[in-house]
Copies of this chain bind each other. A is one copy, B any other.
Amino acid sequence: MSKKLTLGLFGFGVVGQGLYDIIKTKKLNLEIKRFAIKNPEKKRTLPLDLFTTKADDLLDDPEINTIVELIDDAEAAFEIVSKALKTGKNVVSANKKMIANHLEELVDIQQAYGTSLLYEGAVCGSIPIIRNLEEYYDNELLHSVSGIFNGSSNYILSKIFNEHLDYDTALKHAQNLGFAETDPTLDVGGFDAKFKLAIVASHAYGLYVQPSNILNIGIDKLSDYDVRFAREKKYKIKLVPTAKEIGNERVILYVIPKFVTEKSILYAVENEYNGVVVQAAFADQQFFYGKGAGGHPTGSAVLSDITALRYDYRYEYKKHLAATQLVHSNNHKITVYLRYNDEAVIEKLNFIKVSERFYAREFKYVIGDINLESLIANKELLAADDSFVVEVD
C-alpha cells in the first residue's frame, strides 16, 4: 500500500502551481503543506498561510516527510536538499546543475541516512531515462546513450533550419516562450546538456564524473556559413551529448553540435522536444521521446518521482558497486568540422588526419580527426577565435 506523503515545496513557479493543482484534483494520497519562497512581496494565487520565506519552517516541520526542491540557485538547493536528506526526509529535485556537481556526496548522504533523492525531472523533462538506465540496462550491455537533452538549443536550431531564422532572432523567440533564460549561456553553451550527461553517465555506467572534466561545445558560435554548409549536404545541426563505452573499459563523454542526416532518428526531433537514443547489445536502438523544455514536462517527471516515494522507491546505484569498474577518459578520436578564422588555431589543434580543407576570405574550414583531449586543451583558443565545431559521423 502507498504511504501518505506530506510535502514541503521550495519554489512556487509554473511547476509548483501545476503540482498543487493536480494534487488537489487527483486521489494520489499526497498533500502539499507549505511552500518556501524567496520573495514575500510577489502576488500569489493561493492563500498566504501556505507560504513562508524561512527554509527551516519546512525542514524542521516533523509532519513534512518529503521535500520537493524547485529553485534555480544550485548552491542554495544543495544546502536544502542535503539538510532534508540528513533529517530523514526524502527529496525530489529537478536541479541538474546541483545534482551533477554534488552527485557523489548526495549518494553518500542517502546511504548514510537511509533517505531517498529522486531527480528524473532534472534530465530530459518528462522522459523517464534515469529510471530506465538505473533499472533496465545493465552497464555491461550498454554501448551508448546519446540524444537531444536541451530543449532550448534544439528549439533555436529548429527555427534556424526549418524557418530560416537567424541565430539571434531564434534565440529571442525561445526566450519569449520561456524556453531559454535571459542569460542563455547555460543552454546554448552546452552546460545544461553537460550536467544532464554527467547524471546519465552515472546511472548508465556507474561513474561519478565532475562536469568540469567533460567537454561541452555549444551552438552559440553558429554562423550562417555553418548553416549553409549543413544545408548543402542535407544535414541538420543538433546539439548532441554522447556517452559511450569503449572496449568494456572506458567511458567517453562529450557535448558537441553534430551533423545529423535524415537517416538518424534525431533528425526529426524538433523544437522543444528531447529524444534519447540508447544502444544496447543484442537490442537495436531504443528511442525515448517527449517534451524537454518548459514547466509541464518537468512537473510531470517531478510528480512521478513524488508518487514513487509513496512506495519508498530509491535509486540503488548498483552499477557504482559492481566489481569491475569502468573509467572515464577523454583520450578518444572523433571526426569534426571546424570553421575557424585564425590559421594558428589549426596548427595548435594538432589534427590526427585532415580529410578536407576549404579556404576563402570569410569562410575557412577543416574536416578531420582529432583527439577529444586536444579540443579540451584548446577550448579557450577556439572560443577566442569564434571557431565553430561540429561532429561528423
Contacts and interface: CB of A to CB of B under 8 A. Distances in A.
Interface string A110-135: 00000000000000001110011001
B308 A280 contact: no
A265 B289 contact: yes
Given A282-B22, A284-B297, A311 B316 contact: yes
A175 interface: no
Contacts of A18: 282
A127 B285 CA distance: 10
Interface in A286-317: 286-291, 296-297, 299-301, 303-304, 307-308, 311, 313, 316
Given A141-B26, A287-B288, A282 B300 contact: yes
Interface in A247-285: 265, 268, 280-285
Contact of A288 (B282, B288, B316): B288
Nearest to A277: B289
Contacts of A282: 18, 22, 296, 299-300, 303
Q: Which of A127, A136, A141, A308 has the largest count of B CB atoms less than 10 A from its CB?
A: A136
Contacts of A318: 2, 311
Contacts of A28: 138, 140-141
Nearest to A25: B281
Contact of A281 (B26, B280, B316): B26
B297 A283 contact: yes
A296 B283 contact: yes
Contacts of A2: 318, 322
A178 to B, nearest CB: 15
Contacts of A140: 26-28
Interface of A: 1-2, 18, 22, 26-28, 126-128, 131-132, 135-138, 140-141, 265, 268, 280-291, 296-297, 299-301, 303-304, 307-308, 311, 313, 316, 318, 321-322, 324
